[in-house]
Structure 1
Amino acid sequence: MSEFVSLLSPAGDRHFDGLADKFASSLYVGARGELRLALLDRLLPEMLDLEGQPLLDVGGGLGQLTSWFSARGHAVTLAEPSGEMLARAREQLAGREVSLLQASLQALPQLAPGPWPLIACHAVLEWLADPRGAMATLASLLAPGGQLSLMVFNRDALRLSNVVKGNLKKALADRLEGKGLRKRLTPISPLTHGQIETWSAENGLVIREVAGIRVFADYLRRPPESDVDRERLLALEHCYCRLDPHWRLGRYLLYTLERPTPSHEETST
């Protein structure tokens, strides 16, 4: 029976207490996890204007992103609702000058209001019951001229992956969401590019950059076995991840969103 116990929070969000090891092994260990991190290492400096700004890492999990930004001179506040994940992050970030905050995204307007010049929210919205509301919250935390680095799990890529695996009935019925009833890591709210476009416009945010993360890797019949082939795959991913139509196939979609600075006319009225 415990296999079917709900793993959702009272708000209906998927948190990861009791799942830190599974989360780490599924998302960061192995060829796909290494490729994701390697692509971010290349793409973040290309897609963001980084000047050592203070950063709020929303749903920072095990601290990989916080570590990356901290190493580049940013004062980082990592916010994470799971106590277990936050403890693991604290171990990984030992010796770094970062702030750790146990808080859900919804609590951040009270606990870390900013406004922030730089926010990162990677692979979080797809685990929330109300990702649209979460976008509004993130926008409210962003300073004028500030940047939001947003990464979401791509619903369209999930559909294609199911077709490739032969799950035709599931794909045709568009039953792609996880239910949060098992210890599986299928997001409960996979998102589309169209949703991000709509929600960004609703909240006065402009999409400055977009890229697909793993536009080819998840569809390979077998993963690359040699270091040479892994480097070739990384080069191929990096070459095409920002080109249409390839970026649309990424397992994750990576965005740079910006809150425009008000014009002189707007501020004087």
Structure 2
Amino acid sequence: MPCSSDPPSVNHLTAAGDRYFDGLAEKFSRTLYNAPRGELRLALLDKLLPEMLQLERQPCLDVGGGLGQLSAWLTQRGHPLTLAEPSAEMLAHAREALKETPVTLLQASLQELAHTAPGPWPLIVCHAVLEWLGDPRAALARLADLLAPGGQLSLMVFNRDALRFSNIIKGNLEKAWSERLAGTGQRQRLTPISPLSHDEILAWAQESGLEMTAVAGVRVFQDYLRQAPLDAEAQAHLLALELRHSRSEPHWRLGRYLLYTLVKPESD
């Protein structure tokens, strides 16, 4: 029975079963991006994206762009950028963060982009979005429809296998055994409602006519550390290890996130 200090249970899911993040922008900023795990994630992307994508200053659509960190990274490298985000609160934070940056901002869900930003786009980034949707399979098909022939999709998803592994090493054995891994969308917990596996992404990409050209694990080791926080020297060593093993077997498969480059073949 919950104690009187417990926050009330609130369903944050939309009618379509998706989770948006109104009311959570400050928590995202504080606990994710201004924390070691968020800093490491951004540092890894800074190295991995130029390796995994052909970045030629092409127009880019940032789907579910959140607080705007990735949009800022891309505009600094010369990409004309459109950021789409369904949460009004998250979009307001992105607008403030990007106020000196030439970015087009849209308040729109992924499902609405066929009408609000149809493209076709030579580059789409969609990071940490599909795991918050009720139907991630359909969402990937919609992203494929937005791509131009020869276009690239940089897709990052929350790894279900890593979530299972993390629960086991924490002692949540029954939860892992019964596969109760997904979040419920209740309260302010940030466990994704649709964590995804590598096999699912491969199958759905093939269904949508996309080819996988690169894959990496993001935060392969950090989430399993027994000793934290790390001092600056240890954090630098951790980043080096993450980069060394982010694309090598078997380590990438247990990254907290899986990062893909998916390409739409050129038309005949």
TM-score between the two structures when normalised by the length of structure 2: 0.96
CA distance in 2, matches of 1:23, 1:155: 21
Question: Tell me, what secondary structure is at the counterpart of 1:211?
Answer: strand
Work out whether 1:46 is the aligned partner of 2:51: yes
Partner of 1:144: 149
Correspondence for 1:88 among 89, 93, 96: 93
Quote the Cα distance in structure 1 between the aligned partners of 2:107 and 2:243. 34
Deviation at 1:2, TM superposition (A): 5.9
In 2, the alpha carbon distance for the partners of 1:243 and 1:183 equals 35
Q: Cα offset for 1:223?
A: 2.5
DSSP 3-state at the match of 1:222 = coil
C-alpha separation in 2, matches of 1:53 and 1:189: 31
User: 1:27 offset after TM fit, Å?
Assistant: 2.1
Is it true that 1:65 corresponds to 2:44 in the alignment?
A: no
Task: Please name the residue that 1:234 is paired with.
Answer: 239
**Paired residues for 1:243-262 under 5 Å:** 243-262=248-267
Deviation, 1:10, is 1.7
2:198 matches 1:188: no
Q: Is the 8 Å Cα contact of residues 3 and 181 (structure 1) preserved in structure 2?
A: no
Aligned counterpart, 2:3: none
Letter of the aligned partner of 2:176 in structure 1?
Answer: A
1:79 is displaced (CA, Å) by 0.1
Q: CA RMSD in A?
A: 1.0
Q: For residues 21-32 of structure 1, what are the structure 2 equivalents within 5 Å?
A: 21-32=26-37
Aligned length: 263
> What is the alpha-carbon distance in structure 2 between the residues aligned to residue 90 and residue 206 of structure 1?
33
1:139-178 C-alpha deviation (Å, 9 max, x unpaired): 0000000000000000000000001110001000000000
2:158 to 153, 156, 160: 153
Q: Secondary structure at the match of 1:254?
A: strand
C-alpha deviation, 1:23, in angstroms: 1.7
The answer to whether structure 1 residue 78 and structure 2 residue 83 are counterparts is yes
Q: Distance in 2 between matches of 1:143 and 1:168?
A: 45
Where does structure 1 differ by over 3 angstroms across 4 or more consecutive aligned residues? none
Q: What is the deviation of 1:61?
A: 0.2
- The sequence identity of aligned pairs, in percent, is 65
Equivalent residue number for residue 138 of structure 2: 133
Residue pair 1:31, 1:223 contacting (<8 A) in 2 also: no
Give, in whole Å, the separation in 2 of the partners of 1:88 and 1:20: 8
Q: CA deviation at 1:131?
A: 0.1
The yes-or-no answer on 1:17 pairing with 2:14 is no
